[in-house]
Chains A and B, each alone.
Chain A
Amino acid sequence: MIKIEGLTLLFDSFKITDLNIQIEEGGFHFLLGPTGSGKTLVLESIMGLRRPKKGKISIADREVQNLPPDQREISYVPQDLALFPHLRVKENILFGITARNLDLNLYEKYIDALIEVMRIGHLLERFPANLSGGEKKRVALLRALAPKPKLLLLDEPLSGLDPSIKTEIQHLLKVLHSSFRPTTLCVTHDFEEAYFLGDEITIFIDGKVEQVGEKDEVFLRPKSKKVAQFLGAKNLYRAKITRKEESSQQVILEVNGLQFFVPTSFYNDEMAVGKEVDLFIRSEEVMIIREGKPVKDSLKQNIFRGEILDIIDRGRYHTVYFQALEGKILFEISIPNYAFRNLNLSVGKRVRAALREESLWVMS
């Protein structure tokens, strides 16, 4: 178990206060935040390269915040990888073993297994200058894992790669983690990357933790408008709770007169009538109903008639701008290409859009 408690950092213009992160052994935790939010500073402080103002870092019940970096048993893969250019791939990989005077025989099988998973057996005699971007990433990951660190720190591990290589490395990271279960803390600004690889996510904005939780919880149920906006939320509205229906355990929210039916069972906070809240609807959760198609019961309450204002082809999907007739509320809707073709949509066309009640998320 890795515990970071009350970590406070003050460096020039950066101020990070009271950062708490807990990672289970074998967990993959993401520190997700916008570029320039101080994520790398956090990693460097955990590693021991920077001295935090205060805070405690424990690795398997051993406090390490006062130890030098070489005694923390933390491996670090920086964004630029920093493969040692004067050493061959093999020497790079074994660097941590020789630096710690570990018995190579005890690590041989493990390193061979890593080399097989990472598919770099044919690169061992090369120098880093003769590797491609993807190969460099694989070697850097392997080098970090070779001495079996108690914690692996990754700084934007998929940045600067071509999309195809990025997907490949992303899958390799997944396989690597499920095969060897290194306890990992990764910082990134890319929420798709965090969602694909992470178990738990800490949302970190302006030097503060905004939300911590399992990935689904964070992505589907952001705690604040700030988090929702950072996660790329498009359909965010200021709404007012106008009514409560005890029988169906629902509250009715109004945005410009347009009504939304939301179940109260999802929320711990009090949903008092008259209260103003933020309503968040994920763009991929809005459905356009095909003409003539019967509407399921679960959708009947949150169904709106409206007009298509614009359609943008984004390659793998289409973005449709739909305006509800009532209240003139604009929805941004993401539709996969196969579904878009079946819907036969065009600008100016009048259609119906529907929402499952669980697709609505209210933030107080």
Chain B
Amino acid sequence: MGFRYTMIGAALCIFIFYLGLLLSLFYFVGGKGFWDAIVNPYTLFSIRLSLIAATLATFFAILIGLPSAYALSRFDFPGKRIMDTFLEIPIIMSPMALGASFLVFFNTPLGELIQHKGIFFVFEIPGIVLAQFATIAGLATRLMKASLDEISPRYEAVARSLGSSPWQAFYRVTLPLSFKGLLASVILSWAKAMGEFGATVTVAGAMPGKTETMPVAIFTAVSSANIEKAIVLILLLVAFGLFTLYTIRFTGKRFRYD
């Protein structure tokens, strides 16, 4: 077999593997039980909770991640390398370990102080946002840094020489030029937050109607052999995922300047 066909064959195998997996879900789709699973208040709650928590976690990740990404992309400062390496912590640490670390932290004097004087995280909705934030902040920063790295600092230099302050140069030049990459980073981070399970279940638990996000609900549905509910939630997660990927492709075409 030729080189070309071997490579395409490998790509086709992956495609068939995932497509087969998705199609197999439809074997159980249909009937009254399926519809009941969709309109079940707990299912609707978990969808709503997932959307809100993922959006909040993404908002906070971008709020801190964008300036961090800019700093790591543009400036040299002591400790830059180690900071850069720490962005990979959520990748090298399993989500469960990340969640367990939070539980340990909230049992330290500082953690207890935060919980008693500020916001309660453990087994509460803020805990979900925190767990998702911890999982995606490093990734969001890494992706945004990659987008900013692609934009030559020369543009900002010229903008500065033409009278722009550093802030003006950032929002008039760097931000629009890197918009495509930044938006893709936001969407991918949001999608990752939507699908987050390990850290969320460890910090916030799996209480239906209180802290049960979609992935947690899938886990509990499978555990209790509620296949219809599990499939509904899986298909919805896949739909959200495909929608975000389509959005990335669309924005990619919209913001091309070359």
A residues sitting closer than 8 Å to B (CB atoms) are 44, 47-49, 68-70, 72, 74-78, 80, 82, 84-86, 95-96, 99-100, 127-129, 143-144, 147, 153
Q: Chain B contact residues: over half helix, strand or loop, or mixed?
A: helix
Min CB–CB distance A357 → chain B (angstroms): 48
Report B's interface with A, CB cutoff 8 A.
152, 154-155, 157-166, 168, 172-173, 176-177, 257-258
CA distance A85 to B179 in the complex (A): 13
Instruction: Please measure, in the bound complex, the distance between the C-alpha atom of A77 and the C-alpha atom of B162, giving whole angstroms.
Output: 10
A76 in contact with B258 given A82-B152, A85-B177, A95-B162 (CB within 8 Å): no
Do residues A69 and B160 form an inter-chain contact, with CB atoms below 8 A? yes
Note all chain A residues with C-beta closer than 8 A to B177. Answer: 84-86
- Selected from B163, B172, B176, the residue in CB contact (under 8 A) with A100 is B163
On chain B, the residues within 8 Å of A48 by CB distance are 160
| Chain B residues within 8 Å of A144, by CB | 161-162
Q: Is the CB of B161 within 8 A of A127?
A: no
A82:B154 contact, CB within 8 angstroms: yes
Query: Are A78 and B164 in touch, CB under 8 angstroms?
Result: no
How far, in whole Å, are A69 and B162 apart by their CA atoms in the complex? 8
User: Chain A interface mostly helix, strand, loop or mixed?
Assistant: mixed
Quick check: B257 and A99 within 8 Å, CB to CB? no
Question: Which residue in chain A gives the minimum CB-CB distance to B162?
Answer: A96
Which residues from chain A contact B162 at a C-beta distance below 8 Å? 70, 75, 95-96, 99-100, 143-144, 147
Q: Of residues B152, B155, B163, B166, which shows the largest number of chain A Cβ atoms within 10 Å of its Cβ? A: B163
Which of B162, B163, B257 lies at the interface centre, i.e. has the most chain A CB atoms within 10 A of its CB? B162
A80–B154 CB distance below 8 A = yes
Q: Which residue of A lies closest to B158 (CB)?
A: A82
**Complex-state Cα separation, A147 to B160, whole angstroms:** 13
Do A47 and B157 form a contact, CB below 8 Å, given A75-B162, A82-B152? yes
A75 and B161 within 8 A (CB)? yes
Tell whether, in the assembled complex, residue A70 and residue B163 are in contact, meaning their CB atoms are under 8 Å apart.
yes
Are the C-beta atoms of B172 and A69 separated by less than 8 Å? no
Return 5 A-B CB contacts under 8 Å, by A number.
A47-B157, A47-B161, A49-B157, A82-B158, A86-B177
A83 to B258, alpha carbons, bound, how many Å?
A: 12
Contact of B160 among A70, A127, A129 (CB under 8 A): A70
Contacts of A69 in B (CB 8 A): 157, 160-161
Minimum distance in angstroms from A73 CB to a CB of chain B: 8
- Identify A99's interface contact among B155, B163, B258, CB under 8 A: B163
Query: Chain A residues with Cβ under 8 A from B176's Cβ?
Result: 86
State the CA gap A72–B155 with chains docked (Å). Answer: 17
CB of A353 to closest CB in B, whole Å? 50
9 further A-B contacts with Cβ under 8 Å, apart from A49-B157, A70-B161, A82-B152, are A76-B161, A82-B155, A99-B163, A99-B168, A100-B162, A100-B163, A129-B258, A147-B163, A153-B161
Closest chain B residue, CB of each to CB of A153? B161
B194 CB to closest chain A CB (Å) equals: 30
Return chain B residues, CB-CB under 8 Å to A44. 157
> Within the assembled complex, what's the spacing in Å between the Cα atoms of A68 and B163?
10
Nearest-neighbour CB distance to chain B for A122, whole angstroms, equals 21
With a cutoff of 8 Å between Cβ atoms, the chain A residues found around residue B173 in the complex are 84
Instruction: Return chain A residues, CB-CB under 8 Å to B161.
Output: 47, 69-70, 72, 74-76, 144, 153
